[in-house]
Structure 1
Amino acid sequence: MNSYQHIIVGVDLSPESHQVIQRAVQIAKNHNAKLLLAHIIEPLAFAYGGDIPMDLTEVQQQLQAQAKTQLHKLAKQFDIAQTQCHLLIGQPAAELHQLATEHNAELIIVGSHGRRGFALILGSTANGVLHGAHCDVLAVRVKEQ
């Protein structure tokens, strides 16, 4: 098996993201690979199904600005260049697949809370990434902090 050259780590910016990034950094160092850090924001229209009769543009922009700040702060903590940070808008699994394709990534790393039962059946981001990826996917089991 060839070594990984391009790795994407998808984070949700929760406190558990540190665990996922730590594992990703370790793997990237072991393979001398380029590491991209990605966070995906679902549009508010997706979250509310367009049922709210108001303009959510300003709120969406504020969410994006806050996420960008948090993403860059995380990157700095792990010595990841801001140019390697990607803040995307859309459905998380689909955006990670697209980013992996664009950057010829051989590995996508995401966190998994290890949910069971209905939470697993209804799907998680890790599950969605796994089932549509054209490269390897590593789900890092995170411990809630």
Structure 2
Amino acid sequence: MSLYGKILLALDLSAECDQLIDKARDIASANSAELYLLHVIEPLSFAYGGDVPMDLTTIQEQLDDHAHSRLQKYSERLDYPVAQQLVITGHTETEIHRLAQEKEIDLIIVGSHGRHGLALLLGSTANSVLHGANCDVLAVRVKDAEKE
């Protein structure tokens, strides 16, 4: 029996996501796990407090299409069977927790930038996922692509 039967890899689609691919594949392969890929799009109305004087539907659909395309490329790069690729609109941490519970995920893998100072005080997605998850969470330290 494997330690992790279902793994959720949550990607923000940044250049640093490449650093998560190998680790996710290795863990999934070692556990013969089902692997799920997820990207959460925060609604544009969140950024503007819901007070936007125009229809953002077309822009939101373009973001969704772009995310599906990028997630497909990451799936191909994984070279490991992906049970499902999901693009969900909502609050990132909430949607990761909801999906992990719905799919009975055993391990969530997220990237962590290891922020310091003000960014650390404000919290991070990885930290929020860790503290609200009902399963193990692996926060993989990623290096900023611009600094490499």
**Same structural fold, with TM-score higher than 0.5 when normalized by the shorter chain:** yes
Report % sequence identity. Answer: 53
1:51 CA drift (Å) = 2.9
CA deviations 1:15-53 (Å, max 9, x no partner) are 110111211111111111111010000000111112321
Alignment partner, residue 91 of structure 2: 91
- Number of residue pairs the alignment of both structures matches: 145
Contact kept in structure 2, 1:72 and 1:82, CA below 8 Å:
no
1:120 CA drift (Å) = 1.3
**RMSD of aligned residue pairs (Cα, Å):** 1.6
1:81 CA drift (Å) = 5.0
Relative distance call for 1:78 and 1:96 in structure 2 (3 A) is same
Contact kept in structure 2, 1:39 and 1:71, CA below 8 Å:
yes
Runs of 4+ in 1 over 6 A off after TM superposition: none
Q: Taking structure 2 as the reference length, what is the TM-score of the superposition?
A: 0.92
Alignment partner, residue 102 of structure 2: 102
State the SS of the aligned residue for 1:143.
Answer: coil
Superposition pairs of residues 1-145 of structure 1, within 5 angstroms: 3-81=3-81, 84-145=84-145
CA deviations 1:63-110 (Å, max 9, x no partner) are 111111111111111135565111111011111111111111111000
Distance 1:98 1:30 in 2: 26
Distance 1:49 1:133 in 2: 27
Contact kept in structure 1, 2:36 and 2:82, CA below 8 Å:
no
Ranges in structure 2 where 5+ consecutive residues have no aligned partner: none
Worse-superposed segment, 17-26 or 7-16 = 17-26
Which amino acid is the alignment partner of residue 87 of structure 2? L
Contact kept in structure 2, 1:111 and 1:126, CA below 8 Å:
yes
Contact kept in structure 2, 1:38 and 1:85, CA below 8 Å:
yes
Distance 1:32 1:74 in 2: 19
State the SS of the aligned residue for 2:68.
Answer: helix
